Amino acid sequence: MSEKTTDKSELKVSKIKNGTVIDHIAAGTALLVLEMLGITGREGTKVTLSLNVQSKKKTKKDIVKVENRILDKKEINQISLISPRATINEIKNFTVVNKFKVELPEEVHGFPKCINPKCITNAREPPKHSYFVKSSDPLKIRCKYCNTNMNKQDIVKMLLKYQGLTK
């Protein structure tokens, strides 16, 4: 198990009974993942966070464990934009019943808000955001309506600023 360690000073994070473990999140970005999923902690459900912990490959990663929640396709696509190598583990009765890697889609729909304030998608209600994924590393998406390019920083900015509106 990835959290197991020979270093006795390190706290082992417990397994969850039912829910989702988002593993192999890019180190230091788990708080962003929580923001995108709209998890504040005030929901009252158990959420465990590990930031900058060692993975089996001896590199650093983040882990988010959310009890009693299954992620939908849109949420998984959002995570793929921020953390393209994350793994989603669905847990039922303490067992991993489904494991898959997030995948950067060829097109992104419904989020984020276009960074161009004059874009037609920002005037429509409900907004219909739609992008072509032009490149994955460095990440670049292009608005289908106004052709504005957005990089990772733009995407994070718009996701965090307007998350409530784009859901």
User: In this complex, which beta carbon is closest to ligand CTP, that of residue 21 or of residue 143?
Assistant: 21
Distance of closest approach, residue 152 Cβ to ligand CTP, in angstroms: 24
Q: Quick check: 54 and 7 in contact, CB under 8 A?
A: no
DSSP 55: -
Indicate left, alpha or beta for 147 from its phi (over 0: left) and psi (-120 to 50: alpha): left
List the x/- string, 98-127, binding to Zn ion by CB under 5 A: ----------------x-x--x--------
User: In this complex, which beta carbon is closest to Zn ion, that of residue 3 or of residue 154?
Assistant: 154
List 94, 106, 137, 138, residue binding ligand CTP (CB under 6 A): 94
In the sheet that holds 87-92, the strands lie side by side as 47-54, 60-67, 19-26, 87-92, 95-101
Q: What whole-number distance in Å separates Cα of residue 92 and Cα of residue 102?
A: 19
**Pick from Zn ion, ligand CTP, none: which does 108 bind, CB < 5 to 8 A by kind?**
none
Using CB under 6 A as the binding rule, whether residue 91 contacts ligand CTP is answered as yes
